[in-house]
Amino acid sequence: MTPCEVILPESLVPVKPPTDQADDLHAGRTPRLAGDGLTVADMCNRFLTAKQRKLEALEIGPRMFGKYKVTTDRLVTTFGKSRLVDDLAKAQGGNMMEADEIHKLLDKASPQIKSMLLLGVNARQRRC
């Protein structure tokens, strides 16, 4: 120990919340514990894994996979990687879309967005 070094008891050492919790707190959301639900990052990773398998099976091309990757990166950047998918609906006041609204969106959506919408709809139906 050097002469200028001070050792504080653990009770006096400031504790910083993990970054994902800090992001939630700054956004006015209740921080969630790990394993509390499906996160945006988990959803995007599952989606990309499925598309990677299609790429390897030559069912889609590298250009399409690249578009999927750009789309999922945008979702993670916009909503945050630790944000729960359930919280996305709650941020809208808990309003869920009706079937006819979803069909209208699907009719106008690009293949990438259509896939993401269907992934979200199917994930929601499995939990209900």
Query: 83: buried, middle or exposed (CB in 10 Å: 19+, 13-18, 0-12)?
Result: buried
Is there a domain that residue 14 lies in?
A: no
Domain that residue 79 falls in: 38-127
How high is the pLDDT of residue 58?
Answer: 95
Is there a domain that residue 1 lies in?
A: no
Q: How many domains does one find in the chain?
A: 1
Is there a domain that residue 57 lies in?
A: yes
Q: pLDDT per residue over 62-119, tens digit each?
A: 999 999 999 999 888 888 888 888 777 665 554 566 777 777 878 888 888 888 888 8
Q: Say whether 8 sits in a helix, a strand or coil.
A: coil
Is there a domain that residue 73 lies in?
A: yes
Is there a domain that residue 3 lies in?
A: no
Is there a domain that residue 16 lies in?
A: no
Is there a domain that residue 28 lies in?
A: no
| Most confidently predicted of 7-11, 12-16, 70-74, 89-93 | 70-74
Is there a domain that residue 2 lies in?
A: no
Q: Give the bridge partners for 84, in sequence order.
A: 39
